[in-house]
């Protein structure tokens, strides 16, 4: 009996060809359906906008590079993205005020500065210029590290600014009475009892540091304060110091009764006034005795929580 031989490879090729045809048909169908859905969405009134988004995570205070952003033209329009930036020149070289995640739309309120290379913005994202708004300005103050919390202050921190000024008390010429019959009491000068020296006081509270370059600190201040600081630094007789505030403390304290001079500190803390040695009368000044150490407080006996409470006697 003679067997007929059939080549099975031909049947396999037909199966592969059929699979390819089915795949092409499925891809064409999917493309048609997606295209049809987009056309229906467009005709149904859904609007889209264009805008630059973050191609990679962008850190705050880092200049934006061309590789950090990408333009999208299919962003669905809503109430939060109408201000998307479409001009790359408005982004390149600028700094962001906050970290931005991949795919996040870039808007003007996210920028820390409107000028490339500036590195900071005077106004916060929620602040604007209005006829009755404060005239904010940025002014630099030179403060050595030893008067700026050891030089650890940086942008974003809030500080109180102290002013140490050299106060010069003028010497009034003596008043000479040429009338021997005059009985009027000698005139007492209004400056009697004062002498020239340095005086320190906290003058500006809650100042925001916008940027720092070495010992130059750029502060956000009202225009009148910027004028005062500019004059005092040009005069050269004033030193500024800064104290760091906690972020949680937004209080503005009444400092009308504050102010430090040598005599005030001597009186407040009872500092010993130096005397010549030996004394003019030949006696040796005696040191007061050293006070005894204060004993530590007595330990308070602990109460055993397992013990039964003792009832108080009836009155």
pLDDT tens digits for range 60-90: 767 788 889 888 888 887 767 777 888 888 8
- The answer on pLDDT for 201 being more than 90 is yes
- The answer on pLDDT for 143 being more than 80 is yes
- The answer on pLDDT for 139 being more than 70 is yes
- The answer on pLDDT for 214 being more than 80 is yes
- The answer on pLDDT for 315 being more than 50 is no
Q: Which of 14-18, 100-104, 106-110, 143-147 has the highest mean pLDDT?
A: 143-147
The whole-number pLDDT of residue 138 equals 92
Name the more confident of 210 and 174. 210
245 pLDDT band (50/70/90 cuts)?
very high
Name the more confident of 57 and 311. 57
Question: Three-state SS across 96-146?
Answer: ECCCECCCCECCHHHECCCCCCCCCCCCCCCCCCCCCCCCEEEEEEECCHH
Query: Are 47 and 79 a contacting pair, CB within 8 Å?
Result: no
Question: Three-state SS across the chain?
Answer: CCCCCCCHHHHHHHHHHHHHHHHHHHHHHHHHHHHHHHHHHHHCCCCEEEEEEECCCECCCCCCCHHHEEEEEEEECCCCCCCCCCCHHHCCCCCECCCECCCCECCHHHECCCCCCCCCCCCCCCCCCCCCCCCEEEEEEECCHHHCHHHCCCCCCEEEEEEEEEECCCCCCCCCCCCCCCCCCCCCCCCCCCCCEEEEEEEEEEEEEEEEECCEEEEEEEHHHHHHHHHHHHHCCEEEEEEECCCCCCCCCCCCCCCECHHHHHHHHCCCCCCCCCCCCCCCCCCCCCCCCCCCCCCCCCCCCCCCCCCCCCC
Question: What is the Cα–Cα distance from 91 to 100, expressed in whole angstroms?
Answer: 13
The whole-number pLDDT of residue 16 equals 72
Average pLDDT of the chain is 79
The whole-number pLDDT of residue 314 equals 42
Question: What is the Cα–Cα distance from 95 to 101, expressed in whole angstroms?
Answer: 15
- The answer on pLDDT for 50 being more than 80 is yes
The whole-number pLDDT of residue 151 equals 92
The whole-number pLDDT of residue 272 equals 84
Name the more confident of 40 and 224. 224
- Max CA distance (Å), the chain: 169
The whole-number pLDDT of residue 313 equals 41
- 161 CA to centre of own chain: 14
What's the mean pLDDT in 129-149? 92
For domain 48-110, give the CATH number.
3.90.1210.10
34 phi and psi angles, rounded to 5 deg: -65, -45
What's the mean pLDDT in 300-315? 54
In the chain, domain spans: 48-110, 133-171+195-248
**Mind listing the pLDDT tens digit for each residue in 264-299?**
998 899 888 887 777 777 677 777 888 888 888 887
Structure tokens at 92: 């390149």
194: CB partners within 8 A, 6+ apart? 169
Name the more confident of 1 and 132. 132
**Mind listing the pLDDT tens digit for each residue in 92-110?**
877 777 788 888 888 887 8
């Amino acid at each position: 009996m003679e067997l007929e031989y059939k080549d099975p490879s031909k049947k396999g090729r037909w199966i592969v060809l059929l699979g390819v045809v089915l795949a092409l048909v499925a891809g064409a169908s999917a493309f048609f359906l997606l295209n049809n859905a987009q056309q229906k969405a467009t005709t149904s009134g859904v609007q889209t906008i264009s805008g630059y988004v973050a191609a990679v995570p962008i850190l705050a205070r880092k200049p934006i590079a061309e590789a950090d952003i990408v333009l999208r033209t299919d962003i669905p329009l809503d109430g939060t993205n109408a201000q998307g930036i479409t001009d790359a020149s408005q982004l390149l070289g600028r700094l962001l005020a906050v970290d931005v995640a991949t795919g996040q739309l870039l808007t003007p309120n996210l920028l820390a500065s409107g000028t490339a290379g500036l590195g900071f913005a005077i106004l916060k994202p929620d602040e604007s210029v209005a006829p009755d708004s404060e005239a904010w300005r940025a002014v630099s103050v030179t403060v050595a590290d030893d008067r700026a919390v050891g030089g650890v202050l940086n942008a974003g921190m809030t500080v109180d600014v102290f002013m140490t000024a050299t106060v010069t008390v003028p010497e009034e010429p003596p008043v000479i009475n040429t009338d021997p019959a005059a009985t009027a009491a000698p005139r007492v000068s209004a400056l009697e009892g004062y002498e020239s020296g340095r005086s320190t006081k906290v003058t500006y509270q809650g100042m925001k540091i916008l940027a720092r370059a070495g010992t130059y600190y750029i502060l956000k201040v009202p225009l009148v304060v910027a004028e005062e600081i500019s004059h005092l630094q040009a005069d050269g007789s004033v030193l500024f110091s800064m104290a760091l505030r906690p972020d949680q403390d937004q209080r503005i304290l009444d400092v009308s009764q504050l102010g430090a001079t040598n005599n005030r500190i001597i009186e407040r803390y009872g500092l010993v006034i130096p005397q010549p040695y030996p004394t003019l009368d030949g006696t040796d000044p005696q040191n007061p005795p050293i006070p005894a150490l204060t004993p530590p407080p007595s330990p308070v006996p602990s109460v055993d929580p397992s013990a039964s409470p003792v009832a108080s006697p009836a009155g």
